[in-house]
Amino acid sequence: MRRADFYNRKRMVHLASCAAFIISTILISLILAEWHKKSLAWVKNGYLAQGTIVNLDNKPSKLNTLLQRARLHTAFAITYSVKINNALFKKNAYVDQNVYASLSEGKSVPVYIAKNGEQHNLKTNIDNQLAQSHLIYYLSKTAIITVPVFLIIHALLMLIFVRTRANILLKGFYTKHSWLNTNDNVLIWLTHSQIIVIRFDKHQTKMLAQLYQQEECLEDLIAKLKRPNIYAIDIADISAIESEYASPKLLVSTTNRAYKLSFMNYGLKHHALTQIAQNLPAHLIHSINKKSRIMGFLPWFLLSVLCVAAVLQLNNHALIIIIAAIFIIKLLPKCIFHICSPREVQRWRIPDI
């Protein structure tokens, strides 16, 4: 594979997704706010009159979920009458519970009436709608939809433009004894006696990658970094190593502590593991634990089933969208990955006595 600026492409995907999200959210919110403003334009030239409550109704109404299971939901509705141009009109309106509790049949209630008499509504409902007619309200409502939508779009863009096959060796990101991870901002360098781990600031990623790809020596790379976090693992002190086949992480344990080494993909991790294994203490025993793909697939499948069941049971659109986004972005790829990849764990450890 050709050398590529993955960090640049990743940054561009982040920026493009964020820009598209912000612009679309603001644009949709402005359109909704303008539409709402026009729908209430009649109130400005209207007038206030007194209507009379004819009927109160708080009987439970049925709301169906996606499984068509009836749920009971209390809707507080009233019927009021109002006289417009000597003619009596009746209208049903929904109110919140607090307003409903303060009303009774035969009681007068303020009503907004359009100048031409063609529209009218309860003053309390109009006041609530006017209070909501600001951009922040519509931004929050719009974001409920646009956030999961753009999370899905961002995941697809990352898949298309940034991520590569997980089992290939990326040229420019490894040598025989070193591995650069620009995703997690870490450089791992192997000597005959130590595994040296260098963590650096993400703002130095591009500079370090260019120097690394010019085959600079370790001392020169460290000298160019500002306040790197460097630690070394003595190979002679290693008591255990664990590597799961499809994971880009390598777990290394010594008698004092455990380390998690992260690589760009598991292809590079396997390459590093091969080199490290050649230098491990002779007393460590090597074992391979193979499991069926179903065992790796099953936990993610069960989580997916729970998500689908939740979506089918809920009647809250915002929650449905959020859970559906989690399923599409996180769970579905995991299910596909684990059913297609072998589940194999390699271990080096001190033998049991």
Q: pLDDT tens, 58-76?
A: 665 555 544 444 444 566 8
Quote the pLDDT of residue 294.
79
Range 132-161 average pLDDT: 80
Q: What are phi and psi of 122, to 5 degrees?
A: -60, 140
Same domain? 139 vs 10: yes
345 domain-assigned: no
Quote the pLDDT of residue 235.
93
Is 80 exceeded by the pLDDT of residue 7?
no
335 domain-assigned: yes
Share of the chain above pLDDT 70, in %: 89
Same domain? 240 vs 258: yes
CATH code of the domain containing 240: 2.30.29
Q: pLDDT tens, 29-63?
A: 999 888 888 888 888 888 888 888 888 876 655 55
Quote the pLDDT of residue 3.
45
Is 90 exceeded by the pLDDT of residue 190?
yes
Quote the pLDDT of residue 250.
93
> What CA–CA distance (Å, rounded) separates 264 from 168?
10
Amino acid letter, residue 292: S
Same domain? 36 vs 144: yes
144 domain-assigned: yes
Quote the pLDDT of residue 263.
92
* DSSP-based three-state secondary structure for 76: coil
247 domain-assigned: yes
Average pLDDT over the chain, rounded to an integer? 83
Q: pLDDT tens, 61-117?
A: 555 544 444 444 566 888 898 888 888 888 888 888 788 888 888 888 889 888 888
Lookup: tokens for 322? 């959020």
Q: pLDDT tens, 298-339?
A: 888 898 888 888 877 777 767 777 887 788 777 877 777 777
Is 90 exceeded by the pLDDT of residue 276?
yes
Same domain? 155 vs 10: yes
Is 80 exceeded by the pLDDT of residue 203?
yes
Q: What are phi and psi of 39, to 5 degrees?
A: -70, -20
Same domain? 8 vs 147: yes
Lookup: tokens for 349? 């450890």
Same domain? 14 vs 64: no
Quote the pLDDT of residue 117.
82
Question: Could you report how far apart the first and last alpha carbons of the chain are, in Å?
Answer: 46
Q: Would you place residue 352 in the very low, low, confident or very high pLDDT band (cuts 50, 70, 90)? A: low
Same domain? 325 vs 272: no
Among 237, 256, 281, the domain-final residue is 281
Query: Residue 143 region, left (φ>0) first, then alpha (ψ -120 to 50), else beta?
Result: alpha
148 domain-assigned: yes
Domain hosting 217: range is 178-281
Q: Is 193 exposed, middle or buried (0-12, 13-18, 19+ CB in 10 A)?
A: exposed
Cβ neighbors of 41 (< 8 A, separation 6 or more) are none
Greatest mean pLDDT among 149-158, 164-173, 216-225 lies in: 216-225
Indicate the number of domains in the chain.
4
Same domain? 152 vs 184: no
347 domain-assigned: no
Q: Would you place residue 182 in the very low, low, confident or very high pLDDT band (cuts 50, 70, 90)? A: confident
Lookup: tokens for 145? 């939809």
Is 80 exceeded by the pLDDT of residue 280?
yes
Same domain? 297 vs 320: yes
**Burial code of 84-106, b = ≥16 C-beta within 10 A, e = fewer?**
beeeeeebebebeeebbeebeee
353 domain-assigned: no
- Quick check: 284 and 345 in contact, CB under 8 A? no
Same domain? 138 vs 199: no
Higher pLDDT, 290 or 108: 108
Same domain? 215 vs 277: yes
Range 259-286 average pLDDT: 91
Q: Would you place residue 162 in the very low, low, confident or very high pLDDT band (cuts 50, 70, 90)? A: low
CATH code of the domain containing 57: 2.40.50
Quote the pLDDT of residue 271.
93
271 domain-assigned: yes
Same domain? 91 vs 219: no
